[in-house]
Chains A and B, each alone.
Chain A
């Protein structure tokens, strides 16, 4: 009985950690520009696919990972520079639509370059699962959790301790004021896209051994990541993590205890419930209007 529960919990936390990493990417760009970047899932795909194809070409794993992350970073900058920046005065909705277009474009490109098949990536460490109280944990899950935790801590430090991080926050709060104190807001935006692309690609790489990877893996994982970000309250880092984990665990518990048929329905009812009672999500900022 307990081992069952533990198994569902492990499953949920592993999937949830993936969602959380993607949600963090959404959060970052949302914070900087109030844009929801629907190309976030594509960064995830680029990370996984580039690593797989580089290792297949004989590049050592670690170097392949670095190159793949760098590629995603460049793509993030390019996305901001060539798609978002030219639409300067456009409203947020237009920018969001641009990201959707960009995601379709990137997906098409990836399909041309890498083909339509699913690809495998080996586990980072052992293939042997870890047994705890009768439940089984894939060793890769520990990598997902560990790297996820490191990234979250790094992001928190980045935003609270570094000037660049603070500049991003300042830009998100008031673009004009930030510009007045000498922050180059275009630069900051570019940076935000780059960092979120890095985050996405790392997520894509660590989960690829579990989920496989293909040119269209970003669609569904991106959507789930967005749901997680919305549950947590768009714009909150802690919210993204909690939202991701909660979504994953609820999904796994629903599949285990209710029926796998209702798993997705439960996840989507969850977002409805949260948004109904807390329209800004679990950790959404309370907006104070001053008159």
Chain B
């Protein structure tokens, strides 16, 4: 009798101990943040600063005690700017790594390739890519941090109109960024009563765009030129523009908003305007600007750690990670549904890119005003508006 009681008590103790161990193991288990980025390949100038940012801030958050008392674990893959490998990596993150949230997708192509998997698996996904299609129409599990290319088009055309320029020559890259930008510009132009009189394209690997620019220059009535593209292409366009001696006001998209563009384009960039994040001009922001602190902090921390210039693309990753952290903290757990709801209800989150106010029908949360209009003056960015 006594024996069986002891034995039972023993069994209970073992079960309880095992249970306790399991619980404590669970508490110590890290929160898994998955990521697939274009760290190498043609879009590496996006993925490289993004990965550096994620690594740096995951490390920093862990040193400060983690999130909900748990450490963060970053699991990342390099999709080399290739949409089909992005899809494979997204699938690996969801199926075998079993991540709690995904922050990644440097390009629109990579993001859109992963979207169906994410939607099916029901894991929150914060994309770092620009195109409007990512969050319009709203997809239950998909969010994004950069402003849309549609906002960039609105902002640029707005600035053109305020200067009385209504006949535009458009030149754009044929990559995902450029072609989506071109489509948005054509749509927005029609809405805003601006006319696109010339419409040219170039492929990402082209080394000379003189022919296209000559066509634009010879178009009747063209008053200004807008280039939508990223990579080295826009820098070559800028140089060719100068060589051809076209003296119409010149606009670029936010695709070139980084200091390395100034380096590549050199003198030829003088006087051109573009919509960009306030990150490029942290010191010109007025003291009253709510973004000033976070922008300055991100810039100085990034540059101190990596000894290279900060870029707006890294900032997208910063915002993505911080939004994820805030959502997990608000949700109080990593339960996907709760985190997703928390993300959708984020409001007044001041990031480097802008102030995020998410809602059920806006999974981006930014408005066009988060873009500033900058002009290149004496080889530096100058805040215009």
Contacts and interface: CB of A to CB of B under 8 A. Distances in A.
Contact of A116 (B48, B174, B215): B48
B267 A127 contact: yes
Contacts of A143: none
Interface in A103-143: 111, 116-118, 120, 127, 129, 136, 138
Interface in A203-243: 207, 210-212, 214, 216, 220-221
B203 A216 contact: no
Interface in A6-44: 7-8, 10-11, 14-15, 18
Contacts of B301: none
A11 B44 contact: no
Interface centre among A8, A14, A212 (most CB of B within 10 A): A212
A71 interface: no
Contacts of B202: 255, 260
B347 interface: no
A15 B208 contact: yes
B200 A118 contact: no
A142 B206 CA distance: 19
A11 B44 CA distance: 28
A289 interface: no
B214 interface: yes
Contacts of A263: 203, 206
B214 A118 contact: no
B211 A256 contact: yes
B264 interface: yes
A31 to B, nearest CB: 27
A4 B214 CA distance: 7
Contacts of B210: 7, 10-11, 136, 252
Interface in B8-65: 40-42, 44-45, 48
Contacts of B190: none
A136 B211 CA distance: 11
Contacts of B264: 118, 120, 212
B136 interface: no
Interface centre among A11, A207, A252 (most CB of B within 10 A): A11
Contacts of A91: none
A3 B220 CA distance: 16
Given A15-B207, A117-B260, A127-B267, A212 B201 contact: no
Contacts of B378: none
Contacts of A138: 243
Given A4-B218, A120-B266, A260-B200, A136 B208 contact: no
Nearest to A7: B214
B243 A136 contact: yes
Contact of B203 (A10, A14, A264): A264
Contacts of B40: 111, 116
B131 to A, nearest CB: 19
A118 B211 contact: no
A116 B211 contact: no
Contacts of A127: 267
B230 to A, nearest CB: 12
Contact of A220 (B200, B205, B214, B267): B205
A11 B244 CA distance: 12
A116 B44 contact: yes
Interface residues of B, number: 32
B262 to A, nearest CB: 10
A214 B207 CA distance: 13
Interface string A74-116: 0000000000000000000000000000000000000100001
B323 interface: no
B232 interface: yes
A118 B207 contact: no
Interface centre among B201, B210, B243 (most CB of A within 10 A): B210
Given A111-B40, A260-B202, A118 B235 contact: yes
B245 interface: yes
Given A116-B40, A116-B45, A211 B236 contact: yes
Contacts of A116: 40, 44-45, 48
B235 A129 contact: no
B334 interface: no
Contacts of A260: 200-202, 211-212
Contacts of A4: 214-215, 218
Contacts of A216: 41-42
Nearest to A248: B208
B337 interface: no
Given A4-B218, A117-B260, A261-B201, A11 B45 contact: no
Contacts of A18: 207
A112 to B, nearest CB: 11
Given A138-B243, A214-B232, A256-B215, A261 B174 contact: yes
Contacts of A136: 210, 243-245
Contacts of B203: 263-264
A263 B266 CA distance: 28
Nearest to B265: A120
A210 B211 contact: no
A138 to B, nearest CB: 6
Interface string B194-230: 0000001111011110111011001000000000000
Given A260-B202, A264-B203, A120 B263 contact: yes
Interface of A: 4, 7-8, 10-11, 14-15, 18, 111, 116-118, 120, 127, 129, 136, 138, 207, 210-212, 214, 216, 220-221, 252-253, 255-256, 259-261, 263-264
Closest 7 CB pairs of A and B: A211-B207, A220-B205, A255-B211, A256-B211, A116-B44, A129-B243, A11-B210
Given A252-B211, A256-B215, A259-B201, 10 more contacts: A4-B215, A7-B211, A118-B232, A120-B263, A129-B244, A136-B210, A211-B236, A252-B208, A253-B211, A260-B202
10 contacts: A7-B211, A8-B211, A116-B45, A117-B45, A118-B260, A211-B236, A212-B264, A252-B210, A255-B202, A264-B203
